[in-house]
Amino acid sequence: MVNAIRHMIKKKGLNYDWKNITRIMSTQTIQTIVLPTDTKNIHLRKIAKPIKQANEIYKAAACEARKPTVKKYVVYH
């Protein structure tokens, strides 16, 4: 898998070694906020916006940056 990814991005002109690929892609984080209520906890998740190099790797590997699904909750009191 590592070689396949490196081959795909090299064809697009990106010459990153695996160590740099993992360093760049580790900037992609997901933050979760937990809001406690009387009946349950509400979890809100937010994905960080990819940095320029991460976007280049996504495009070169023919992948999309992960887009979060939006969930809305209504809490009745």
What's the pLDDT at 64? 74
What's the pLDDT at 56? 92
| pLDDT per position as a tens digit, 16-49 | 999 999 999 999 888 888 888 888 888 888 888 8
Within 10 A of 65 (CB to CB), how many other CB atoms are there?
Answer: 14
| Residue extents of the structural domains in the chain | 2-60
Q: Tokens for 22? A: 């993992």
Whether the model clears a pTM of 0.85, i.e. scores above it, the answer is no
Between 47 and 11, the more confident residue is 11
Own/partner pairs, 14-23, CB within 8 angstroms, 24+ separation:
14/56, 14/57, 14/60, 16/57, 21/57
| pLDDT per position as a tens digit, 47-74 | 888 899 999 998 898 887 666 556 666 6
